[in-house]
Amino acid sequence: MMANRGRQMQSEGKRRGGRRGSGRQEASWGAQLTNWLDDWLEINPDGTITAFSGKVELGTGVRTALAQIVAEELEVSIERVHMVMGDTQRTPDEGYTAGSMTINSSGTALRNAAAQARLVLLDLASKLFTVNLDELVVQDGVISVIRDPQRKVSYAELMGGKNFDLEIPDNVSVKDSLTYTVVGKSTPREDIPRKVAGQSAFIQDLRVPGMLHGRLVRPPSVGAEFISMDESSLSGVPGVVKVVQRNNFIGIVAEHEEQAIQAVQKLKVEWREQATLPPMQDLYTTLRSSPTQDNLLINQGDLEIAWRNAFHQLIATYYQPYHAHASIGPSCAVADVKKDQITVWASTPGPYPLSGTLAKLLDVPPEKVHLIHVEGAGSYGQNGSDDAAADAVILSQAVGRPVRLQWSRQDEFVWEPKAPAMVMEVSGGLDALGNVVAWDYQVWSPSHVARAHSPEQLVAGQLLSGQPSTQFGFSFGAERNALTNYSFPNQRVTVHYIADSPLRASSFRSLGGAENTFANESFMDELAAAARVDAVEFRLRYLPDERARQVLKSAASKAGWEARPSPQRMGNKLVQGRGIAFAWYENDQAIVASVAHVQVDTESGAVCVKRIVVAHDCGLIINPDGLRNQIEGSTIQSLSRALKEEVMFDEWRIKSVDWESYPILTFSEVPDVEIVLIDRPDQPALGAGEPSTTTTAAAVANAIFDATGARLRQVPFTPGRVKAALP
């Protein structure tokens, strides 16, 4: 069935546009909302339900969570629900899977579709049995008459293989969330049994008949130009089908994967390299001195006067390096470019937008490109998956056969778009009583989003055109959580967008949310310390919202928080401390507070994080265990980023090319993570993939300060930096 019939479509982006600092714009970029019921749901003759979502599974468990929502609303067991996700010939266009928006957007659409379907089915049954609606009951997809249970009919029998053929009205009535039995219950993920048994589960496992294997010969540096190559260097390498060289793009297609790898290692290519990057030690001065486009998010009260009259003035600058998504599985895609039909299997977060871009790359109408999402390794934002799809398409087009294209580890580290480097400067004024009277926040950042809306935004497009580009004129994402939820009387928050990112950059889990929260929450701690006030008490002064207060207090209470000002004064070699950080994600989404307990070796500067407590309120909880999994994961990942990660480069090349030059947290370094979930069944369900990634770095920095008096303002908190900061 072609679910996406194009009826009743409207641009979600237009309706929702203009939301400041929001990921919703990005998540719904180009998305086409459909309210045609059959686009979302099918009742199959065997009693199963097929539900269609334009969002995709990125390893976060949304496939299971969406199935729970459908099962709940339709009153069928979850085993009956089969999700089809991210297929341009089968599912609705829901833009990108991004911004923790899948539960909000696709979840809401599917809930409404299932609610409407249930109403229609009940209506059919009431006519069949000539009874009123309230005389019927549904159990696992079978409707029966309450007083005469022998009179029953299944959804499948009522539908008889037909479509609903109708729209979902705007005001469809849905179940009261307080009566939920499936939603809100920990539900095992459907993919885990397959994955632990070694069944085909990933794009890397996909095999298409007649498929060849492709690998890439990337330029040694971003600005390098192709001069020449010597194909005779491949004599003796078996299985090589074709060396595809177009301008700076080179890929090799071979019969076997290992042959393609061998050929890539052997092919002699001459490049002309150029120094296109700033020296790494100048990165932050480069960012601050670049031309900017400025967004003023808030300008409230009279900051100038408040600052001048402040009893105590503080200014601090925080630094965030480039981070790699560093997916465990390097990007992979399979493409089959035929004259009349192009099929691409990719782990893209945006099947529809990517299919349009690939169509432009091949100069064919968009409907010729059938894009099918297949899960990849966790991506946490935009990794190389879209780029790999374009590479696969070019190679398949060149050989006229399906090609499986696999990036190397180095391809992924060097060519994936990075989380942008940022500089955050905060000026704060306290009055004589220790109250915050002035708050001036500035952030310098490249855009956090450079999605593949045109071929030039993909690596392949840039290499084909010979125009390496890092700038796409799309400034986005650095606003996220630049503004706090604290009720400061005089405050100003300014985002300075830098047009050109020295390294190619795009979205990473929470966009600027993590970096802004690192700066804001570190600075709150600096002010609390200057005022000699306990960090929790200090925050509560500016947090009137009851829900927010409860999150902060829950984290502190679970952590056994002992109220006192920081730092403690201890003189030993090994010192302990605790720190807290709070964030209201996007200022109106999930609310998070984290407490970190650390031990610092003051001789070596090594930081050992012992325990992190996270309190989390994301409204109605869909799958408690899935939620815990997300919070644990984002806490550990963001700890890895805070303690260890920094993309290294010189003026020519990116130097972080493998796990030795870009180390991440290992089992021996992982702390205990304890989670307090605050369920709000009466509140809307909010996304949870990103919020708890924001508070870790500041909680750890604040704990290091508490333990040592050393203030860490630059990520990562390496032993050398800790030692240098010791008082």
Partner 1 sequence: MSGDIVITVNGKTHTVQSAADTPLLYVLRNEIGLNGPHFGCGGEKCGACMVLVGAEPKLSCHLPVSEIGRARITTLEGLIEEGELHPVQRAFIDEQAIQCGYCVNGMIITTAALLWKNPHPTDEQVRTALDGNLCRCGSHLRILRAVRRAETLMSGYGGE
Q: Residue numbers of the site for partner 1 (CB under 8 A)?
A: 58-61, 188-189, 191-193, 195-202, 204-205, 207, 213, 238, 256-258, 261, 326-330, 375-378, 380, 406, 408-409, 625-626, 629-630, 632-637, 640, 658-660, 664-668, 670, 672-673
Scanning 400-474, the segments in alpha helix (DSSP H) are: 409-415, 459-465
**C-beta separation of 28 from 105 below 8 A:** yes
Minimal distance, residue 666 CB to partner 1, in Å: 5
Give the count of alpha carbons within 13 A of 714, CB side only. Answer: 13
Minimal distance, residue 597 CB to partner 1, in Å: 15
Minimal distance, residue 525 CB to partner 1, in Å: 24
Nearer to partner 1, 551 or 673 (CB): 673
Question: Which tokens sit at 275?
Answer: 């120094």
C-alpha 430, offset from chain centre: 36
**Separation CA 653–CA 221 (nearest Å):** 5
- Which of 90, 83, 94, 112 lies closest to 189, judged by CA? 83
Question: Which tokens sit at 332?
Answer: 């992979």
Give the count of alpha carbons within 13 A of 338, CB side only. Answer: 6
Minimal distance, residue 57 CB to partner 1, in Å: 9
Q: Give the list of residues 6+ apart from residue 595 with CB closer than 8 angstroms, or none.
A: 555, 556, 558, 559, 561, 578, 579, 580, 612, 613, 699
**Residue for token digits 């990007």?**
331
Minimal distance, residue 633 CB to partner 1, in Å: 4
Nearer to partner 1, 61 or 141 (CB): 61
Q: Starting at the edge strand that comes first in sequence, how are the strands of the sheet with 403-406 ordered?
A: 240-246, 249-254, 212-216, 403-406, 332-337, 342-346, 369-373
Nearer to partner 1, 243 or 326 (CB): 326
Minimal distance, residue 663 CB to partner 1, in Å: 9
Nearer to partner 1, 100 or 248 (CB): 100
- Cis bond before residue 716 (omega within 30° of 0): yes
Q: Give the list of residues 6+ apart from residue 588 with CB closer than 8 angstroms, or none.
A: none
**Separation CA 174–CA 151 (nearest Å):** 26
**C-beta separation of 452 from 458 below 8 A:** yes
**N-to-C CA span, the chain:** 68
Scanning 21-101, the segments in alpha helix (DSSP H) are: 24-27, 62-74
Minimal distance, residue 630 CB to partner 1, in Å: 8
**C-beta separation of 421 from 287 below 8 A:** yes
Residue type, 30: G
The total number of residues shown for the chain amounts to 727
Minimal distance, residue 507 CB to partner 1, in Å: 16
Nearer to partner 1, 121 or 414 (CB): 414
Minimal distance, residue 252 CB to partner 1, in Å: 15
Minimal distance, residue 201 CB to partner 1, in Å: 7
Rg (Cα) of the chain, in Å, rounded?
27
DSSP 50: E
Q: Output b/e per residue, 146-175; b: 16+ Cβ within 10 A.
A: eeeeebbbbbbbbbeeeebeebbeeebeeb
Question: Which tokens sit at 503?
Answer: 């390294």
Minimal distance, residue 659 CB to partner 1, in Å: 4
**C-beta separation of 146 from 129 below 8 A:** no
**Separation CA 337–CA 405 (nearest Å):** 13
Nearer to partner 1, 413 or 561 (CB): 413
Nearer to partner 1, 9 or 261 (CB): 261
Minimal distance, residue 404 CB to partner 1, in Å: 9
Nearer to partner 1, 427 or 638 (CB): 638
Q: How far is CA 496 from CA 263, 288, 515, in A?
A: 45, 9, 14
Minimal distance, residue 204 CB to partner 1, in Å: 6
Nearer to partner 1, 214 or 567 (CB): 214
Nearer to partner 1, 413 or 705 (CB): 413
Nearer to partner 1, 628 or 653 (CB): 628
Q: Starting at the edge strand that comes first in sequence, how are the strands of the sheet with 136-139 ordered?
A: 136-139, 142-145, 148-154
Minimal distance, residue 209 CB to partner 1, in Å: 13
Minimal distance, residue 639 CB to partner 1, in Å: 8
Nearer to partner 1, 235 or 666 (CB): 666
Nearer to partner 1, 187 or 494 (CB): 187
Partners of 593 in beta bridges: 582, 615
C-alpha 535, offset from chain centre: 30
Nearer to partner 1, 45 or 220 (CB): 220
- Which of 542, 463, 538 lies closest to 217, judged by CA? 463
Nearer to partner 1, 470 or 696 (CB): 696
Nearer to partner 1, 500 or 658 (CB): 658
Minimal distance, residue 79 CB to partner 1, in Å: 16
**Separation CA 680–CA 665 (nearest Å):** 33
Minimal distance, residue 342 CB to partner 1, in Å: 24
Strands 369-373 and 342-346, by their bridges, are parallel
**Residue for token digits 């952590």?**
559
DSSP 671: P
**C-beta separation of 104 from 686 below 8 A:** yes
Nearer to partner 1, 40 or 380 (CB): 380
Cβ neighbours, 10 Å, residue 547: 14
